[in-house]
């Protein structure tokens, strides 16, 4: 039984690693409509850049089946999006806890991070596909390209809704202050990406 779990964990880890390796963002790609012409940028890459209002991610995947290539690209983009949201909300939470004085700051921070992680995972059901393209390689395999996005307001609303159900966290939560820090972090992220 333990061998099955270990084997399952190894297979899952390898699948994730292979998925991320197939998503190189500057790989030269020939599209079906432009066979023979090499593109320097990946299709959907520009639509996969976050700004101050949206979390965005893009991905690419290859398969001998077109629908599988598209599904793998979508899954990879969603995984990247969750990682981006979690990273951003962790920065916001760290700053929020440091700027406010809590008796049990580390306890609040841990609970708040768990809550924001739940929100990030749940928000994936609200993602919008901003761009989706496909190409055929000379060897007959297909590539799927996708960019997904979710509004920062969806994330903030999710956090606010979760907090209304948690009386202990709600006591220490200053919505205006949290949103101010959240917006600053979104602006910082946008500036780092050239927006």
pLDDT in tens, 24-45: 434 444 444 555 555 556 788 8
For residue 29, the 8-state DSSP code is: B
Instruction: Name the pLDDT band for 58 (thresholds 50, 70, 90).
Output: very high
Q: Where are the domains of the chain?
A: 25-192
Taking phi over 0 as left and psi of -120 to 50 as alpha, with beta for the rest, 47 belongs to alpha
Structure pTM?
Answer: 0.72
> CB neighbours of 159 closer than 8 A, spacing ≥ 6?
89, 115, 116, 119, 178
């Amino acid at each position: 039984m333990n061998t099955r779990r270990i084997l399952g964990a190894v297979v899952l880890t390898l699948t994730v690693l292979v998925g991320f390796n197939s998503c190189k963002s500057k790989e030269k790609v020939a599209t079906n409509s432009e066979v023979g012409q090499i593109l320097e940028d990946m299709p959907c890459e520009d639509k996969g850049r976050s700004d101050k209002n949206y979390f965005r991610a893009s991905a690419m995947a290859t398969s001998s089946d077109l629908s599988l290539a598209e599904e793998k690209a979508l899954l990879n983009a969603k995984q990247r999006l969750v990682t981006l949201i979690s990273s951003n909300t962790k920065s916001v939470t760290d700053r929020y806890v440091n700027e406010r004085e809590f008796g049990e700051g580390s306890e609040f921070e841990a609970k708040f991070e768990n809550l924001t992680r739940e929100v990030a995972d749940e928000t994936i059901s609200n993602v919008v596909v901003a761009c989706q393209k496909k190409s055929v390689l000379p060897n007959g395999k297909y590539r799927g390209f996708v960019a997904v996005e979710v509004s920062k307001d969806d994330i903030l609303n999710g956090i606010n809704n979760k907090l209304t159900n948690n009386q202990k966290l709600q006591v220490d939560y200053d919505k205006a202050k949290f949103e101010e820090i959240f917006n600053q972090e979104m602006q910082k992220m946008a500036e780092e990406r050239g927006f």
